Chains A and B, each alone.
Chain A
Amino acid sequence: MKIVIDRPRCEGHGLCEEAAPQLMHLDDDGELVLDREEISDADASLANAAVRVCPVAALRIA
């Protein structure tokens, strides 16, 4: 599975980074960087938590 980001939607809240700092972070400009696009089964619940917390639904799992 993969995390996909919808860039125009992302408002840079960064709640996803709080939920899953192992998988993503916001850079100095506040742009979201996916550190690992391919998600192992072990990290699936982390990835789900990050996707769920986004108030503008800018992330999804594919």
Chain B
Amino acid sequence: MSTPIKRVVVVGNGIAGLTAADSLRESGFDGELTIVGDEPHPAYSRPALSKALLLDGDDMSSHELPPPTHGANEIRGVRASGLDVERRLVSLEDGTALPYDRLVIATGSRARRLSDLPEELTLRGLDDALTLRGRLAASPSVVVVGGGPLGMEIASGCLAAGCRVTLVSQGTPLIVQLGPYLADVFVKAALDRGLTVVETGGARLEGQAGDARVVLEDGAVLQAGLVISAVGDVPNTDWLADTGMVEKGVLQVDSRGLVRPDIAAVGDPAAFPTPYGRRRIPLWSSAIEQAKVAAAALVRGDEAPPLRFQPYFWTEQFGLSLKAVGYLPVQGEPTYVEGGPGGSSLMRWSHDDGSGTAVALNHRIPIPRLRRLSQGTG
């Protein structure tokens, strides 16, 4: 990379884009930096939306991040609509074209939907969270479709807001993401707090505007004032359709987050090498680590270190707070390092390859210590 880098464009102003912009500066890039985001808001913390923000009395600031220090030209509320990799131009929906020497793709993902009905709410962005908060107050009954961590966090928030809540899940909630042992712990806590769980093979939304209902696999119908779906995410890669870089909606990157030497992809849309093959890991700390590595690689090339990533996941719901380091789901019973079933505890699962997953449940523990524990050196 002998030619000097004069212009870098970052498309996406979430935590991945923000961290990439910061890290470009830390790697010594002092040229023209532009960051484009399709939301009108400054970058914020997405994990807070389904946790504190649904609950915080009048404190509506739990998602706010400190203002950026990268000194980029920030373009907000404008979506990228196309990319010409030969001419190195990003086009925006307002007709602007942004030339670049290096490009960071950090466009995140959007909620997968079950219908086009306006009654189907999803929770992905800040506006979604504010809408949901407003609607909860006037909705005595809520159906949440989706038994993953997001669906469960939303269900927990709705219960805490005083709603009657039914959660529709394909199989036991959280079993796919966390494994049977932890799923059982969470489902028990949820049932104790009054959640109704309906397991079904598949659910669909039917009806028309003003009269939406959830239809289960056996034909049973659930009606509620409010239907919220949390059934996965779809990477925002449509704008790259003509580039030949997108495979099944995903951008495949190397161990430094690069799609090609002048283009990095970070955060939700990027599938990067893991011990279990190339994967998307759409989590907070994953986005941050990917963005740091990729920004350094764009500036310094192969001298920059590759990604060495160990997932960190946390959730708060139904009075439980879980922190996990290592790959999930976990199978079988844990070894209890501290505490025991039913209380504050520290658990470890060993995997066949010698690595492990360490989980803290209602237990405050520094993440570095949890990491050491997952590696069997704690």
Contacts and interface: CB of A to CB of B under 8 A. Distances in A.
Contact of B367 (A15, A56, A60): A15
B66 A17 contact: no
B368 A17 contact: yes
- Which of B45, B323, B367, B369 has most chain A Cβ within 10 Å? B367
B284 A52 contact: no
Contacts of A55: 45, 47-48, 284
Contact of B62 (A9, A29, A49): A9
A19 B285 CA distance: 11
A2 interface: no
Contacts of B285: 15, 53
A40 B26 CA distance: 16
A45 B321 CA distance: 31
A9 B45 CA distance: 13
Interface residues of A, number: 26
B284 A14 contact: no
A45 B368 CA distance: 20
A21 B368 contact: yes
Contacts of B45: 55-57
Contacts of B18: 52
B288 interface: yes
Contacts of A15: 285, 312, 367
Contact of A30 (B62, B288, B364, B371): B364
Interface in A3-62: 9, 11-15, 17-18, 21, 25-26, 29-31, 45, 48-49, 51-53, 55-57, 59-61
Contacts of A12: 364-366
A43 to B, nearest CB: 12
A45 B320 CA distance: 34
B314 interface: yes
Given A13-B323, A52-B22, A57 B365 contact: no
Contacts of B62: 9, 56-57
Interface in B337-378: 364-369, 371
A14 B367 contact: yes
B19 A26 contact: no
Contacts of B364: 12, 26, 29-31
Interface of A: 9, 11-15, 17-18, 21, 25-26, 29-31, 45, 48-49, 51-53, 55-57, 59-61
11 contacts: A13-B367, A14-B369, A17-B366, A18-B367, A26-B364, A26-B365, A30-B364, A48-B22, A56-B45, A57-B64, A61-B66
* Nearest 8 interchain pairs by C-beta: A30-B364, A26-B366, A14-B367, A14-B366, A12-B364, A55-B47, A60-B66, A45-B26
